[in-house]
Structure 1
């Protein structure tokens, strides 16, 4: 059975690239955390979540905090994508429970390898 990934990013063009490189997995794409939460609450539990950091309506950080404070979702590994290079930001995200962090623009092959490592 294929491992599943929930991809949350407000930019469909980025999502298409990610989905292309992660075609070994079953990838569910939604364009914001609000839709992601609704999908999760329907009983869908992915093997990992990839979330952009800067999104309208709800940030990736707020989404991460929500996931890690929810008994049903707290064990799902979350990889954060961000275009902002900030050591303090990364440290805070790791403290809040992020499994990994990749800076945009990223090498899709590196993302593939990091996801493979998370899903071991």
Structure 2
């Protein structure tokens, strides 16, 4: 984590926390869908995130990252409990390391509930 973010988090400006089970399942799903290396359980258990964005459903992984570059690695759409379409997107840095999950509800209302996501299974390849 860069020194400015660390100092701000110590002053209480950035609420650092661990992943919820639902966020963890979403992150693992998006990582697998992007064909990125699967993180080990220890990394996930120690991972700290910062809630960002409207409604604070998106989250940034608190670690050093080259934020001058980002790339959409994978995304997923699902319906919230009110049947409004939601898009979750995983962004990676230039080294293909995840640093942000953006969650956007198309009507810009707060997310009601993030569901648990299954283990990602790649679709069969077409020959």
TM-score (norm 2): 0.28
Tell which structure's C-alpha radius of gyration is larger: 2
TM-score (norm 1): 0.29
